[in-house]
Amino acid sequence: MTQNSLGDSAVQMAVHAQNNGVAANATQTQPLWLLAEITYRCPLHCAFCYNPTDYDKHTHNELNTEQWIQVLRDARKLGAIQLGISGGEPLLRDDIEEIVIEAKRLGYYSNLITSGVGLTEKRIQAFKDGGLDHIQLSMHDITEEINNFITNTKTFELKKKVAAMIKNHGYPMVLNVVIHRYNIGHMKEILEMAEALGADYIELANTQYYGWSLVNRNQLMPLKEQIDEAERITNEFRQKVGNKMKIFFVVPDYFNNRPKKCMNGWGEVFMIVTANGDVLPCHSARVLPNMVFPNVRDSGLEYSWKDSPAFNKYRGDSWMKGPCVTCPEKANDLAGCRCQAFLLTGDAESADPVCSLSPNHHLIEKAIEDSKNPVLASQPIIFRTDKNSKKYASGESTERIEAFHALP
């Protein structure tokens, strides 16, 4: 047996988490990855947030600590191993400490996904003692100006302090930087900042257009040339730092000819439980029409994962239609993202329009053109605020969402 053949056979499966779109080859359906979107409340107001624009509806009926602990136990029985505690800003809840302890007891590899706002010495010590495995910190730019602009908050100095705190407590430094028009020109400096902070991992997540980022698409989308340049700089940097720092560059699907295999397949490896207890196969699934997602208040996770009509609806490829159903590449991407297909075309079963073979691909080409239109691009950003969310949720505002087939 050669080394290579051992290498192939040594690993049954490798799964990497990325915001949307995942490279992996899962061979079975167990919810290996549980994402607990524990609250939609957030002190930041990021223009690119993928949370639903009507999140305000779900900020008054959050699951309590006992319900979250039950979620952790039930998901673990189904095979969940990786736990992401996310939001909103999870640190706005005061029970993260208890959740972390239970996660450790159950054998999860747990990750707190945070802006850093609300992280204190006392809390990070409690997380360390409780067995939290790592903290993923969002960073926005090397400049105070862009950080504060895109998050609509003054958080630049705080983030630097939090990064030091994470390192001092012996945690790996895991950074997530969402890439958009305002910071894509600083790729080299962002990577240098990550290196200076001692980053072990950095995810350069090119904005994908869901939630608030879809509303702000014309304001956020960079040019193709900028993305190519950013990728070139990233590859060059990767050569330089070698194994010391793992760099994930999440390719933006709008500029690809083929769609991403969204969530590594619907109901394949990811399960999300939202602040109010909805159980979803992906972050944005609630935009889809005629779907009833199970809620942990009404039914167990085993039912949700294995038997609920919602989780079974887009498993496999039997639901597909043309051009996907006869496409020789359908197994590579499973026709892309159902949410993107519905939001942009009004048909959830159609090919993801980012695919150049989609009859609706012109919608993506138009979006790219629109983002270059100075009149459209100069419209102000609509920030993720409770006030703006209330306006969308109540129907008071339809600003910049008329073209979409659901509230982003």
Partner 1 sequence: MENKIQHSDVYAIAHHHRFQWEEAQQSYVILFPEGMVKLHGGAGEVIKRLDAKATVADVVADLKATFPDAEGIEADIIGMFELAFEKGWIRKV
149 SS3 class: helix
Q: Does 248 interact with partner 1 (rule: CB under 8 A)?
A: yes
Q: Which stretch, 78-86, 87-95, 384-392, 395-403, contacts partner 1 (CB under 8 A)?
A: 78-86
The single residue among 60, 77, 232, 321 that binds partner 1, judged by CB under 8 A, is 77
Shortest spacing between CB 121 and partner 1, in angstroms: 21
Tell whether residue 85 is a contact of partner 1 (CB under 8 A): no
With CA atoms as reference, report the closest residue to 218 among 385, 399, 53: 399
Distance CA 390, CA 312 (A): 32
C-alpha 247/C-alpha 96 separation (Å) is 28
Sign of torsion, CA 11 17 22 23?
negative
Question: Rounded CA gap, 246 and 225, in Å?
Answer: 24
- The continuous run of DSSP H or E covering 174 comes out as strand 173-179
Q: Please state the closest distance from residue 349 (CB atom) to partner 1, in A.
A: 31
Residues 94-113 that bind partner 1 (CB under 8 A): 107, 109, 111
Task: Please give the residues from 27 up to 46 whose contact with partner 1 meets the rule CB under 8 A.
Answer: 30, 32
Of 199 and 280, which has the nearer Cβ to partner 1?
A: 199
Question: Cα Rg for the chain, rounded, in angstroms?
Answer: 20
Q: Which residue blocks in 109-155 are alpha helix, DSSP H?
A: 121-130, 144-151
**Cα 41 to Cα 118: distance, rounded to the nearest angstrom:** 13
* Least distance to partner 1, CB of residue 229, Å: 25
Q: Which residues contact 360 (CB under 8 A, 6 or more apart)?
A: 344, 345, 350, 351, 353
Stretch that binds partner 1, among 79-87, 161-169, 293-301, 400-408 (CB under 8 A): 79-87
Beta-carbon-side half-sphere exposure of residue 371 (alpha carbons within 13 Å) = 22
Residue 12 as a binder of partner 1 (CB under 8 A): the answer is yes
Residue ranges in 169-228 that form contacts with partner 1 under rule CB under 8 A: 171-172, 174, 200-201, 203
Q: Where does residue 348 fall: left (phi above 0), alpha (psi -120 to 50 degrees), or beta otherwise? A: alpha
What residues from 104 to 163 belong to the interface with partner 1 (CB under 8 A)? 107, 109, 111, 133-134, 136
The verdict on 13 binding partner 1 (CB under 8 A) reads yes
241 is an interface residue for partner 1 by CB under 8 A: no
Residues in contact with partner 1 by the rule CB under 8 A: 1-3, 6-7, 9-18, 30, 32, 77-79, 81-82, 107, 109, 111, 133-134, 136, 171-172, 174, 200-201, 203, 243, 246, 248
